[in-house]
Amino acid sequence: PIFTSLPGAGEVFASRLLAFFGSDRSVFTSAASLQQLSGVAPLTKQSGKMHFVHRRYGCNKFWRQTFVEWAAQTVMKSLWAKAYYQRQKEKGHRHQSILRSLAYKWQRILFRCWQCREAYDEKRYLNALEKSGSPLLKTIDAIRKTHPELCEQFS
């Protein structure tokens, strides 16, 4: 029920995500450990004044691609994911980079749902964004005003 509750997961991605997480909750001690194992966490190289961030090359490509492809599906099924994608696009980021970044955010949410054995609830997450005063709220409001027909599916 955890993985089927995810927006855009469907049978295919829910099965893949379940296979990645498994049933042993002691495997991942933190969201960061699963982000690194899946290859979604960015890799930072720094030396002196040079600072370079890029995607991980040494990882299981299937798992990374699973999370990135699923993140792409959530842009059409989750209001905050759509708003996040639009904000990053406006900042000039590239499509694949945005999807990896979105997958990174989703993994923290997924880790919490998996640890607490709770299904994902979009309304609960939107309330948390409002409570924290997230900068995404402006974009979410703009989406609600310009595309009210889309908001019905996100509610």
The C-alpha atoms of residue 81 and residue 146 are separated, in whole angstroms, by 16
Strand, coil or helix: 53: strand
pLDDT tens-digit readout, 97-116 = 999 999 999 999 999 999 99
What the block records as the tokens of 151 is 């908001």
pLDDT for position 56? 62
Angstrom distances, CA of residue 114 to CA of 31, 86, 94, 110, 155: 10, 28, 30, 6, 22
Q: Is the pLDDT of residue 131 over 60?
A: yes
pLDDT tens readout for residues 52-73: 666 666 666 778 888 999 999 9
